[in-house]
Structure 1
């Protein structure tokens, strides 16, 4: 009877372990992280990225932490990055931005006292190191019992360069006081690796010389940066806010491209010469220095100017196109805060 009870208890315990194991494994799978994004390195620089550190010793160079070997020592040599100091940092710079949200450090059970106790995982934003994760009191016993330590955190921002910044090691006294055998970095697979789409609110524009109109781009995701270009700036120009200005008669294509991708959308701009028969007013502008400028303008240009004058300020400019022999075209720029007064003489 006792034997049957023991067998039943063992079977129940085994069943519970299996169920717990399945539950834990399923939760891990749902995290959805990529494989290690750092290709195996044989030197500090490759076509995919660059390794660097606070100390690049001959036998323990930076790239040894990215050589695909999880052991501290191998083949009579060393397969780890290391420094004689009890603090230090190890970094990897990707050739294209990544949204890292998981990293793994390995030591494969060798020399656990050399591995970090307290550190931060950081990203370089171009001006400062941004702390993404902090760890403390990871002892040599922790490293001995679990030679591969993984850490996850929330991050949806893309950076090129990441580092482990160690402020305390477990070492008491050694030639090499701080080491990492292997450092790996991963992205969450649910984060898009690049923007997906872009559209423009207008596929075609018709403008008279000197006129301006704004194009609006809609991108997904909406955090993507848009680069604006014109295939012929002698006909139409565009600024980085999508404002198109007609320069001279002809046809130009305005392209909006998501930065660092080949995803783009276009709008065709047809520029026509103003018909003088539609000229309706003389716009006379007196500047603060006493100089007066006069322009024979169409209704469109006049309305554009009036709208600009009401909304603009400071050094904002308005463009007027004129024909002055022997030049093909002359463009004058009137600065908003240089205008003393103006009058409109309709005819």
Structure 2
């Protein structure tokens, strides 16, 4: 009888443990294991997602349906050219999915929010859609990710990316976000200004005669401003600018438009004017400039007065002091008390 009671109690305790003790997930993948689909709480993005930016010698290798790569293809880079992938995402966790093989390295680089780590794609035998890196417990928010090949990678080695897994409610963000473009009309010209884009070496300026229509390239700029001159007053022009990073065009700006208008009561006459700036400490700065450069300064000042743009303006002057070719002078907006223009008759 006592034995029967003990068995009954044991059975009840066992059933309670099954019902109320949370089971450990048997499907939770670990680094080095194949992961052919995202697990619960995750979503997968292919390596061809347009929000991923590749820099260096990358190419897409199609494997065919017989090989279990995600979407049957991967992006590869061979040799030690310091190839890089950049992107941002919103979420709290990330997984890198790749193939593993004996010609891959153990010291590939991943940088998340400035924190430098390495990960391995090495395997004694080939395996597709393997989990090669995982980072969790990130603070909810936007995170910056840079993946780089090892600087010691040889021509017989490669790094590849198959897919990226992040939170099921997260999303990818373009690393090079679209710059904000403004267009200011002048007399027979339009002055363009935009936000600088990190990593951009130049900007392609495009124009159209109608809103949203196909654009034609009208010039390039290595700064974040451009003056489109010799235009027809009374005609509206539409512009976008495209940042160029490592030789590749990135996300275009918004479209901005302006209508050049003849100046009937100009602040200055002729091709040059002298700009006199009075500083808050009582000192003055004087610059004789082409009309176009005066326009740029006034545009910057007006935009900064409205709360946008850089906090300083740069004047570049030729130098007659050896060995310097030119001198750049930076004027802080909050140090300017007033300014005036002295007109030239010719």
TM-score range, shorter chain: 0.3 to 0.5
Q: Normalising by the residue count of structure 2, what TM-score does the alignment of the two structures yield? A: 0.41
Q: Normalising by the residue count of structure 1, what TM-score does the alignment of the two structures yield? A: 0.41
Q: Which has the higher helix share?
A: 1
